[in-house]
Amino acid sequence: MCCLWYRQRHNYIWLLGNIFFPAALNGLSGLVSTLVNVYTTPDTTMGVSSTATLIVTGACTVICGILTAIYWFWLLGRVKTEHGEQQQQPQQEQRVMTNEVEKGNVLHYAERKEIVEAKGHEKRSSDGSFS
């Protein structure tokens, strides 16, 4: 499991969906199963094997649950925030263009074409090649 985590350590969604969350649920089902087995016996006492099983599955559940929370809320949340900021940037640029159009500061297509052609002719040298 550590090898898979190391290979996929930057793929937060894959880690959550394939390692941490399933392992936490598996540990939780192990805890429930062990407790059911202990409390359905006639003497309802916990033996050495039941105690060891509860400790191991409990540790697995807690560790994977903590890792799930860290990756879900902190690391994946940070990626979502960065993505949201990147999505807002083009919208802000679109608003600026809309404001410029409303102000009348945008050149017509023909005027832009003339400016582009004029700049293109300036870049040519005397022998006709581009510099």
DSSP string for 13-80:
HHHIIIIIHHHHHHHHHHHHHHHHHHHTSSS----HHHHHHHHHHHHHHHHHHHHHHIIIIIIHHHHH
Digit-coded pLDDT (tens) for 2-56: 888 889 888 888 899 999 999 999 999 999 999 898 888 888 778 898 899 999 9
Please give the backbone phi and psi of residue 101, each rounded to the nearest 5 degrees, phi first: -65, -45
Residue 118 has a pLDDT of: 63
Virtual CA dihedral for 15, 19, 20, 21, nearest 10 degrees?
A: 100
Residue 128 has pLDDT above 80, yes or no: no
Alpha-carbon gap, residue 5 to 46, rounded angstroms? 35
